[in-house]
Amino acid sequence: MQIPRIDIQKSDLVTLFRIYRKTIAYCLLAVVAYSIIDKAASNFSTKAVVVANKDIAAGTTLTSGDLKEIRIPISALAPNLLTIEQLMGRMLSANIAENEQLTNTRVLATSEIIKDQRVVGIRIIDSEVASILKPGSLIDVVRISNNSGDLGAVIARDVSVVALASKKSSFGSSAGSVVMVSTNNDNAVTLAINSGEKLTVLLH
């Protein structure tokens, strides 16, 4: 059985377009109108999110007094938002401003309440090593040498990275990258004392 051949000429298409051009135009207008309305609805729709109740410094362990809920447009939502329950007791990895949304990139990975911790800045001589660190990394801090000629040694173990400086220094003895770390009081004092020495880190 042969399938009949349908021969459509260009003139036929032109004729069909002329007949249905109003219908086509209405369909296109409907698509555009729907897109505009859908976008407007997204801009006006809101959702409750957790934000900072005030300006908070890196290294702070979050409590209920640091947090609040507000409603913001859905179109302005940040990715990876956390609830109050997920944020309680976690340490900030960077400074945040009042009303800033709180995401998992702003807090350390652990959900355990961190007690008796201090935040201190160390300058890592090797900026390439510092560049692979991220908030939540666990490191040991090593003194390569000091001004008195003492040999290198591990001066602090199991130290948590809190934040990385956005800029690095390359001037004289201040060369390297600054890393903010959280550790116990004794380690923090040791790191502060050795802050002018040549330091590097061991990653866990």
Walk along the chain (204 residues) in steps of 10 and give the mean pLDDT of each run: 55 62 74 70 76 86 89 85 87 83 75 65 86 83 73 86 65 67 88 88 88
Q: What does the pLDDT read at residue 67? A: 92
Q: What does the pLDDT read at residue 149? A: 58
Q: What does the pLDDT read at residue 6? A: 52
83: three-class secondary structure by DSSP: coil
Residue-wise burial string across 71-91, b where 16 or more C-beta atoms lie within 10 A, e elsewhere = eeeeeeeeeebbeeeebbbbb
Q: What does the pLDDT read at residue 55? A: 92
> In angstroms, rounded to a whole number, what is the distance separating the alpha carbons of residues 100 and 61?
16
For residue 175, how many other CB atoms are within 10 A of its CB?
15
User: Hunting for tokens 């590097």 — which residue is that?
Assistant: 200
Asked if 91 and 181 touch (Cβ cutoff 8 Å), the reply is: no
Q: What does the pLDDT read at residue 174? A: 52
Q: What are phi and psi of 9, to 5 degrees?
A: -90, 160
Q: What does the pLDDT read at residue 191? A: 92
- Measured at the alpha carbon of residue 200, what is the angle toward residues 178 and 134, in degrees to the nearest 5? 55
Q: Which residues pair with 139 in a beta bridge?
A: 159, 203
